[in-house]
Amino acid sequence: MSLKRFKETFFLLFEVAQQEALDFRLFTLARQCGVPEAHAQERLLQWAGPEKLILLAAYDGSRYRPSHEWAEVNDLFHSAANGGYFRVTLLANGRDFIEDLKKPPIGFPVS
C-alpha cells in the first residue's frame, strides 16, 4: 500500500468507528493497513508532530503521556504498562483531513 493510501485508510478508521480517540498496537495497525511497522511509526510521529493531525499518547503505568514526553519513541509504541497499545486522538486538522476525504472530487471523471 502506498503511504498516501495508508494515510487515507488510517484516518478513515476514525470515521468508521465514529470516535475521536482509538487505541492501536503498532504491529496490528501496520498489518491492517499494509505498510511496514517502521513506516507506520514514522508517519504517526509526523502526523503528531509537524502536521498536527493527531495526538499520540501511551499509558506509562500511572497516566497517558503524550508522545513528546517519552524519552524513547519505542517505549511509546511498545509500553509494557499497556500491553503495547498507544492512543491516537484526532486534532482539528485531522478532522478536517477526514472531511476533505469525504468530499467528492471536483471535475469530470476520466475514462
Query: pLDDT 10s digit of each residue in the chain, 111 long?
Result: 677 889 999 999 998 899 999 999 999 999 998 999 999 999 999 999 999 999 999 999 999 999 999 999 889 999 888 899 999 999 999 999 999 988 777 766 665
Q: Hey, CA dihedral for 39, 14, 4, 48, is it positive or negative?
A: negative
Burial degree of 48 (CB within 10 A; 0-12, 13-18, 19+): buried
Whether 107 is in a domain gets the answer: no
Whether 76 is in a domain gets the answer: yes
Whether 108 is in a domain gets the answer: no
Whether 7 is in a domain gets the answer: yes
Nearest Cα residue to 90 out of 59, 40, 30, 44: 44
Whether 109 is in a domain gets the answer: no
Q: In what order do the strands lie in the sheet with 21-25?
A: 21-25, 85-90, 54-59, 64-66
pTM over 0.75, yes/no: yes
- How many domains is the chain built from? 1
For residue 46, give every residue at least 6 positions away whose Cβ sits within 8 Å of its Cβ, in sequence order, or none: none
Domain of 72 in residue numbering reads as 3-102
